Each structure stands twice: as structure tokens, then as C-alpha cells.
Amino acid sequence: MRITHGVMVSGFLGDMNTNLNSLNKIQKQLNTGKVFSKPSDDPFKVARSMQMYSEINANKQYNTNIKDTINWMDTTDTALSNGTKCLQRIRELMVSTGNAAYGSSELTAIKEEINERVAEFGQILNTSFDGKYIFGGKDGASKPVEVNLDGVTGENSISISGNEDIINKSIKVEISSGVTVDYNVNAVEVLKFKDKDGNGNVVDGAGVPTGEMDVMKFLDDLLNNLSDVNGKSKVVGENLDQIDKVINNMLSISAKVGTVQNRMESAKELNTAQNENLTEILSGNEDIDFMEKSMEMAVARTIYVASLQTSSKVLQPSILDFL
């Protein structure tokens, strides 16, 4: 086969173009720090990176969900703690009514403070976080509890505001793929509950199912007994037993909140570890090794320069060069 001058020129130009493209590709990788700059560079790695980015973004959203839930639960825990302290103060005042040395003025002062504490307890149950009432259940936009003042007696009372079925709904949060957690405490859980034995005291005329404790009715009954000269025995007897149940329920709810808080903290640590792992995998898939690429760059440059030198020696001048 006859090798013409044109064939040699074409071959050398093709080889030099290949070497130049290789040099240009490595230069782009060094400039961007990435193995690829467009899908056609490495379709498999591009697809894998897209999957990694999707998982990382989802993981970041889970992280946001977890942090928001932790803040919500911290607010809930503080509110429950304040509510428990309020009830414990009411209990202390109730016990003090049994002091034989107390006269009408002392008992009146006790009732007035208890009356204020009732309003305080209702306000605690209207605690909000990030524009939502934490004890409002599914209806977080509306106050779950109303604090009512009797214009005649001056007594405060509290009542559940809105639809109890909606308020008494759990709020769920997704903390990882397919994993959801119920995390809220609602006003119905606090104000209407069954004790551990299922034998909550039933107040006459309240229409409360056997085994259920109605905190709202209990507080009304307590204030009425404090106003009744014959009600002292009930305050330190029946009512005292009732408030113990209410306080125990608050402590039980607080314990559940603590369990959720611990789970959220564990989920946060796991989420952080997963995010670091995904980021490392992504980096291994698309980031270059600068030292390795620098060596490749030096080799590619040497090859390209050598091809230029070789072509200049092999391709001798033709008669066309003198025309």
C-alpha cells in the first residue's frame, strides 16, 4: 500500500487532535474539580450523582424535620413543667386549707390564689411555637383552651375550645425514609384522661364516662368547695385525691415527651452520620484527585508536545511549501 504525504499529514493531525482533546479534558477537570462537566462525559457516574443529590436533599429535609420537632418538644416539655408546678402549687394551697388556725381571711386569700392559678394553667395550655398552639392537635391554628371569667362570682374556669376530635389527633413527622413519629401532646390528653387503674373519679352531674377524669370539672368543683363553708372536707379529701391524679397524669405525659426527645436526638445523630456518608460517596463519585490529575496533566502535555515534535521531523517539506 502506498503511503502518500497527505495520508501521513492526516494521520498526524488526527493523533495530535486526540492528544489535544485529552489534554483539554484533564484541564477542565482540574479547573472544575469534577470528573465530568456534562452527562456525555460519564453517563453512569452522572446518573449516580443525581441519585446521591436526591438522597442528600431528602436527608437534609429529614434533618430540618428533626430539628423542628426537637424545638417543638422542648417547648412542650417546658410548658408541661410549668403546668405541673402550677398544679403542685394549687395542691399546696389545698393542703393548707386544713390548717385549723386559718380563718376566713386566710381561706379567702387561698381561694384567690388558686383562682389565679386556674387561669394560669389554662394559659399554659395555650402555649404556642412557631405560630402554632402546641396543645392544639391537628387544629394548631386555634387556641385549644378558653379561660373564662364568671362576672358574678369572679371565678375562673377553663374549657376546651373547638372540636375535641380534631384537637385529640396525633401529629406525625417523617424523620427518615418510611419512618414517622407521633410527637405532639394535646389539650384533651391533659384535661380528660383515665388514671392507671381506669378508675378516675366521676363528679356528680358531669356526665363523664366512668374511669375518665375531667380536669375542667374538677377545678370548677374545687373553687365551689372553697366558697362553701362545708366544702373544706372535700378540698382536703376528694379534691386532693383528684389533683394527685391530675399531677400524676402530667408527669406521665412529661415522661412520654422525654422519650420522644431522646428518640429525636438519636435520629439527629443518625441523620448527621448518614449525610456525611452520602456526601463522601458523592465526592468519591464526581470529585477528582488533584495530585493524580496533575500527574496525568503532565503526562498528557508531554505526549502532546512529543507528537508535535515528531510530526515536524517526519513530515518533510513538499514542493507545495515552496509555492
CATH assignment of the domain containing 144: 1.20.1330.10
Same domain, 112 and 222: yes
- Of 84, 21, 45, 19, the residue nearest 288 (C-alpha): 45
- Of 290, 285, 278, the residue nearest 47 (C-alpha): 285
Question: Does some domain include residue 200?
Answer: yes
Same domain, 185 and 220: yes
Q: Is the pLDDT of residue 287 over 90?
A: no
Same domain, 112 and 24: no
Same domain, 111 and 158: yes
CA distances in angstroms from 294 to 31, 36, 302, listed in the order given:
11, 16, 12
Structural domain including 176 reads 53-278
Please count the structural domains in the chain: 2
Amino acid at 295: M
Question: Does some domain include residue 291?
Answer: no
Same domain, 228 and 199: yes
Same domain, 160 and 225: yes
Q: Is the pLDDT of residue 110 over 80?
A: yes
Specify the pTM.
Answer: 0.77
Question: Does some domain include residue 95?
Answer: yes
pLDDT at 200: 46
Same domain, 95 and 126: yes
Question: Does some domain include residue 229?
Answer: yes
Mean pLDDT within 120-132? 96
C-alpha cell at 208: 363523664
Cell 376528694 sits on residue: 238
Question: Does some domain include residue 243?
Answer: yes
Same domain, 263 and 301: no
Rounded distance, CA 154 to CA 15, Å? 99
pLDDT at 288: 66
pLDDT category at 86 given cuts 50, 70, 90 is very high
**Which one is predicted more confidently, 2 or 56?**
56
Q: Is the pLDDT of residue 11 over 90?
A: no
pLDDT at 100: 78
- Quick one: how far is CA 307 from the chain centroid? 61
Same domain, 3 and 60: no
Q: Is the pLDDT of residue 205 over 60?
A: no
Question: Is the Cα torsion angle 252, 256, 257, 262 positive or negative in sign?
Answer: positive
The DSSP letter of residue 209 is P
Question: Does some domain include residue 188?
Answer: yes
